[in-house]
Homo-oligomer: A and B are copies of this chain.
Amino acid sequence: MKYQASVKVMLKASVLDPQGSALERALASMGHKNVLAVRVGKIIELILESPSLEEAQREASQWADNILANPNMESFTISVKELKLDEDSLK
């Protein structure tokens, strides 16, 4: 069975995010004064073959923890869903 795992990796709140701050200032300088905070993270979408949803979640979570995120500076959330055959999900 094929699954799509989305791993969202954000810098921890205590870690400075220069890219987010730059974007915040850019939006403010364009007149969008109602933007209170901006943070930028990355999202990693994986298609994986797995015998079950639970196993896919376990694997994705392990990869996120060991490879995709730096647990000292980043936190991550994972969502895994079964991939429908007619879905072209990595667009």
Contacts and interface: CB of A to CB of B under 8 A. Distances in A.
Interface of A: 2, 8, 10, 12-13, 20, 23, 26-27, 30, 32, 34-50, 59, 63, 67-68, 75, 88, 90-91
Contact of A39 (B12, B45, B59): B45
Contacts of A43: 8, 10, 40-43
28 contacts: A8-B43, A10-B45, A10-B90, A12-B91, A13-B91, A20-B44, A23-B44, A30-B67, A32-B59, A32-B63, A34-B48, A34-B50, A34-B59, A35-B46, A36-B47, A36-B48, A36-B49, A37-B46, A37-B47, A37-B90, A38-B46, A39-B45, A40-B42, A41-B42, A41-B43, A41-B45, A43-B43, A75-B91
